Chains A and B, each alone.
Chain A
């Protein structure tokens, strides 16, 4: 049981390049999330998915796109990378939104845009 995994762990991009971050979970969770974490700021929600085939915008969706074609995978795309997208990206998943249903996080992707 690997939990939540993310690929890649590190990446350096040049301004204008595109890339896709992959998140996979093996816990059969319905909900999946993409966050970014920047120094001095809380985790900020980029996009989330409540079920396979559905996605919704979070707090900071501009410059990103997502897809959830399979229940276990949630992809985050950067269409044209900008230095402001330099950050640590975390994927998370949870089985539900009731009570103490907690979010489980992947190890993160450290992205630098030059």
Chain B
């Protein structure tokens, strides 16, 4: 079966750095997405990786290792507004998105 694993919850301090990991086992691979979802709202797109390596976008970076089936999302200079759930999703061989359960990130002052 297809599976995506993420930690359920993480806590970090305002101004700090946090890394959210995602491991996956899917039927084929056609890219990995990270989405942000604030409580009670819709998911919104953060980043996309299809080749190994680091993609940087402002305070957010995403890393991919296809051989290890592993990705992480790195958030720098954390702000209170970064408190949200972060969803990892893999596009499989049929070009469908397989979703992880999400990581709830709590930011403390």
B50 contacts which chain A residues (CB < 8 A)?
Answer: 99-100
Query: How many B residues are at the interface, by size bracket?
Result: 20 to 34
Q: Which residues of A contact B101 (CB under 8 A)?
A: 40-42
**Which residue of chain B has the shortest Cβ distance to A45 in the bound complex?**
B96
Beta-carbon contact of A42 and B33 below 8 Å: no
Contact of B45 among A40, A58, A97, A102 (CB under 8 A): A102
User: Using an 8 Å CB-CB cutoff, how does the interface string of B33-56 with A read, 1 for contact, 0 for none?
Assistant: 100000001111100101000000
Shortest Cβ distance from residue A76 to the other chain B in the assembled complex, whole angstroms: 16
Q: Please indicate the chain A residues that have their CB under 8 angstroms from the CB of B102 in the complex.
A: 42
Is A114 in the interface zone, CB < 8 Å from B?
A: no
**B interface list, Cβ under 8 A from A:** 4, 8, 30-31, 33, 41-45, 48, 50, 87, 89, 91, 95-102
Chain A positions near chain B (C-beta within 8 angstroms): 40-45, 48, 58, 90, 97, 99-100, 102-108
